[in-house]
Amino acid sequence: MNKKIFGKTIAILMAFILILGVVPIRGQAHDNGPAESFSLYKDGHMEKVLDVDSDAQVQRAPIGSSSHFSYDAEHNALKISNIKITRGDTMVYLDNLDAIYVSGDCKLPVIRMDCLSEDFYGNPPIASSVTVYMDPGSRLEVGDIYDRDMKDVNTKIVSGPGVKMKAKRDGKAMQFIFTSGGLKVGKKAKVKGVQYKIIADDGVSAEVAKGKAAKKVKVGDTVKIKGYTYKITSIGKGAYKNKKSITEVTLGSNIQSIKKDAFSGCAKLKKITICAGNLKSIEKNAFKKLNKNCEFVLTGTDEEIARADLLIRNSATGFKDTMTVKGY
Rg (CA), the chain: 24
Find out whether 15 and 120 touch, Cβ atoms under 8 Å. Answer: yes
Look at 29-38, 200-209, 216-225 and tell me which has the smallest mean pLDDT: 29-38
- How many Å apart are CA 8 and CA 172, to the nearest integer? 33
Q: Residues 222-239: what's their mean pLDDT?
A: 94
Q: What is the average pLDDT across 74-102? A: 82
CB of 230 closer than 8 Å to CB of 203: no
What is the secondary structure of 274-302 as a DSSP string? EEGGG--EE-TTTTTT--TT-EEEEES-H
Which class for 195: exposed (0-12), middle (13-18), buried (19 or more C-beta within 10 A)?
middle
Q: Highest-confidence range of 33-42, 46-55, 141-150, 235-244, by mean pLDDT?
A: 235-244
Q: Contact at 8 Å (CB) between 135 and 103? A: yes
CATH homologous superfamily of 188-327: Ribonuclease Inhibitor (3.80.10.10)
Q: Which pLDDT belongs to residue 323?
A: 97
Contact in structure between 89 and 112 (CB atoms under 8 Å): no
* pLDDT tens per residue across span 124-180: 998 999 999 999 989 999 999 999 889 999 999 999 988 999 999 988 899 999 999
Domain boundaries, the chain: 3-180, 188-327
Q: With a cut of 70, say whether residue 8 has pLDDT above it.
A: no
How many alpha carbons lie under 13 Å from residue 202 in its C-beta half-sphere? Answer: 17
Instruction: Report how far residue 279's alpha carbon sits from residue 108's, in angstroms, rounded to the nearest whole number.
Output: 30
Does 12 score more than 50 pLDDT? no
pLDDT per residue over 78-91, tens digit each?
A: 888 888 887 666 67
Q: Look up residue 142 and give its amino acid.
A: V
Half-sphere exposure of 163 (CA within 13 A, CB side): 22
Residue 121 pLDDT > 80, yes or no? yes
**CB-based contact 172:26 (threshold 8 Å):** yes
DSSP H or E stretch at residue 11: helix 3-20
The C-alpha atoms of residue 328 and residue 326 are separated, in whole angstroms, by 7
Long-range pairs, 12-15, Cβ under 8 A, ≥24:
14/120, 15/120
* Cα–Cα distance list, 182 to 135, 164, 165, 230 (Å): 9, 12, 15, 9
CA gap 153, 171 in Å, rounded: 16
